[in-house]
Amino acid sequence: MPPWAVITAACVVIIAFAVWLITVRNRLVRARNRSHEALRGIDVALETRFDQVKAQAEAASGAVGKEVEMMLGATALRTGRGIEQLSVTEKAELGEALGRAERSLLAAVEAYPEMRTQQNVELLQRTVNETEERLQAARRVYNSTATDYNTRRQVFPTVLVAGLLGFRDHELFELTNAVKREQYDLGGFLGS
pLDDT value of position 146: 93
Alpha carbon dihedral 67, 72, 75, 78, in 10-degree steps, equals -90
Q: Where are the domains of the chain?
A: 3-174
Residue 134's closest CA among 142, 122, 144?
142
The pLDDT profile of the chain, 192 residues, written as one tens digit per residue, is 788 999 999 999 999 999 999 999 999 999 999 999 998 888 888 888 777 777 776 666 554 555 555 555 555 545 566 667 777 777 777 777 777 777 776 676 666 655 555 566 667 677 778 888 888 898 899 999 999 999 999 999 889 899 889 999 998 887 665 545 454 444 443 444
pLDDT value of position 191: 45
Chain centroid, CA 189 distance in Å: 33
Q: What is the SS3 assignment for 15? A: helix
CATH classification of 3-174, choosing from 1.20.1440.20, 3.40.47.10, 1.10.3720.10, 1.10.10.10? 1.20.1440.20
CB 106 within 8 A of CB 99: no
Buried b (16+ CB within 10 A) or exposed e, 103-125: ebbeebbeeeeebeeeeeeeebe
